[in-house]
Amino acid sequence: MTTATASHDDHGHHGPAKGIMRWVLTTNHKDIGTLYLWFAFTMLLTGGVMALIVRTELFQPGMQLIEPEFYNQMTTMHGLIMVFGAIMPAFVGLANWMVPLMIGAPDMALPRMNNWSFWILPFAFGMLLFTLFTEAGAPNFGWTFYAPLSTTYAPSSVTYFIFGVHMMGISSIMGAINIIVTILNLRAPGMTLMKMPLFVWTWFITAYLLVAVMPVLAGVVTMMLMDIHFGTSFFDAAGGGDPVLFQHVFWFFGHPEVYIMILPAFGIVSQIIPTFARKPLFGYASMVYATSSIAFLSFIVWAHHMFTVGMPLQTELFFMYATMLIAIPTGVKVFNWVSTMFRGSMTFETPMLFALAFVVLFTIGGFSGLMLAIAPADFQYHDTYFVVAHFHYVLVPGALFGIIAGVYYWLPKWTGNYYNEKLGKFHFWMSFIGVNVTFFPMHFVGLAGMPRRIPDYALQFADFNAIATVGAFIFGFSQLIFLFILIKTIRGGEKATDQVWEGAEGLEWTIPSPAPYHTFAEAPHVK
């Protein structure tokens, strides 16, 4: 934000440096947060273009636009970029911006590492994306990269993919460590753990999940690397390994990963709903405990992704019941959000609209998740579009709407300007309609048996697929409205007050708008 005020210069501070080197060398949490958010937005558009290529091919049955090999590369890259390039960095960006402001810290605890953890990312994704232009083509084995597809039968570009994942992992781990150290050490006097805003709490727990499972992901890709290049056979049965082992290790990472992508969104929504309902959050402590329970349970449910690999009955039952148990803390959260709104004096600004859509649509995704958790039923749903519908409901109107809601909510604090409310609402309704038109029909074609990751399909799925493609284009192009609103707001607009929102409470609303380059040089006292 180039509009940062100079009003703090008399305190002996300096403003941001000029030019490109400000961004390359910055150790300021606000600058790094901005970098993360723009990077995530770039990746969102990149992965979005890939999704639109996939949807265009699926507009009609038959092969018309692209080769099946390229289709596989598009689904794989879309998944990898959205998970590791868009959703996760966007959350880290929001944490960088908001965690220090919410706990009254002057900056992140490890600012140089902060710079490093961001600047690794463009190189990681540069490496991943450049494989598209190699002769072997990009990774084509799905974002879950199951062995032996990703080892014995992988394109030679898989090695770039592996190093790319290593780099993303290092970046995420460093980001997570930074957040934990900041929260544990830099809280303002009086800011006890149980007074922390829920966004800080959910990120605190998410960061522990990251430290616990990103190294396991690094381990599994290292095993792949060794199988491919060093003659080991972790996943090759011919040499005494076991391809099912890959799925166990991958999902030991993968299931906590899906909570890494949703817990911070829970936190954002828990900030926004009380503001616009003008009531304190209902059941603060139960929210903290529910989040912790979800995080704990995420470690003991991984095999529900693998019900069809041939596990014995007892194992299937264990993972089925453990998975269903997660519905309880999640239900507590939904209950608390609804209770917060109950008899509140609600207004429906854009962040609130996105947060409300989050509550409703994430719950739909949660329910289809419960259906998938039923082991005997999963044999029908496995690897169909029903699964695609499920995880897109929790990730797009779930995680992504959470991020967008957060951006609208804090944008006036970051830029000092209100966004255009009419345009924001237009963006919301286009996104809301687009996302449902895209993903709701996928439930139906999935239950009817349409397999995922296949570029062609049987004729009876044609109508629903055509509808989904239309929805995808509506959703995709409405994100350009978002881009327009962001640029417009950064450049100017109605001046924001310090509190920004009438019902907003918390330390971040006590500082001026736009937030000065340095804040809380002297720690505030929290009552």
Partner 1 sequence: MKSDSSKPDNQSGIKPKNTALKLVLAAVAMFGFGFALVPLYDVFCEITGINGKTAGPVERVEQWVDTSRTITVQFITTNNAGMPWEFEALQEEVEMHPGAWTQVEFWALNPTTEDMVGQAVPSVSPSEVAQYVQKTECFCFDQQKLKAGEGRKMPLIFSLDPELPAHVRKVTMSYTLFDAGAFAE
Helices 462-491 and 421-447: crossing angle in degrees, nearest 10, is: 160
Rounded CA-CA distance 227/264 in Å is 35
CB of 312 to partner 1, least distance (A): 5
String marking each residue 98-117 x if it binds partner 1 according to CB under 8 A: --------xx-xxx------
Helices 88-103 and 111-130: crossing angle in degrees, nearest 10, is: 170
- Nearer Cβ to partner 1 (181/470): 181
> Could you say whether residue 25 binds partner 1 (CB under 8 A)?
no
The span of 1-9, 197-205, 232-240, 434-442 binding partner 1 (CB under 8 A) equals 232-240
Q: CA distances (Å), 83 to each of 158, 191, 205, 336, 379, in order? A: 18, 33, 19, 28, 26
Instruction: Calculate the CA 226 to chain-centre distance.
Output: 30
Residue whose entry in the numeric block shows the structure tokens 């995080």: 295
The correct pick among 25, 136, 237, 317 for binding partner 1 (CB under 8 A) is: 237
> Could you say whether residue 451 binds partner 1 (CB under 8 A)?
no
- Nearer Cβ to partner 1 (224/515): 224
- Nearer Cβ to partner 1 (106/493): 106
Phi-psi group of 14: left, alpha or beta (phi > 0 → left; psi -120 to 50 → alpha; rest → beta): beta
- Nearer Cβ to partner 1 (126/189): 189
Looking at residue 390, the DSSP 8-state letter turns out to be H
Rounded CA-CA distance 145/128 in Å is 14
Number of residues that bind partner 1 (CB under 8 A): 46
- Nearer Cβ to partner 1 (257/349): 257
Q: Cite the active site residues.
A: 78, 107, 143, 171-172, 255, 257, 259, 270, 304-305, 330, 333, 452
The correct pick among 219, 283, 493, 512 for binding partner 1 (CB under 8 A) is: 219
CB of 298 to partner 1, least distance (A): 14
| φ and ψ at residue 524, rounded to 5 degrees | -75, 160
Structural contact between residues 202 and 270, judged by C-beta atoms closer than 8 angstroms: yes
> Could you say whether residue 233 binds partner 1 (CB under 8 A)?
yes
**127's tokens:** 């490496």
- C-beta neighbour count of 338 within 10 angstroms: 13
The correct pick among 223, 301, 399, 437 for binding partner 1 (CB under 8 A) is: 223
Rounded CA-CA distance 382/447 in Å is 10
Rounded CA-CA distance 128/142 in Å is 14
The correct pick among 20, 21, 194, 238 for binding partner 1 (CB under 8 A) is: 238
The correct pick among 1, 45, 300, 311 for binding partner 1 (CB under 8 A) is: 311
> Could you say whether residue 195 binds partner 1 (CB under 8 A)?
no
Rounded CA-CA distance 164/184 in Å is 30
The correct pick among 86, 249, 364, 405 for binding partner 1 (CB under 8 A) is: 249
- Binding site residues, partner 1, CB under 8 A: 106-107, 109-111, 173, 176-177, 180-181, 184-187, 189, 211-220, 223, 231, 233-234, 236-240, 242, 244-245, 248-249, 252-253, 310-312, 314-315
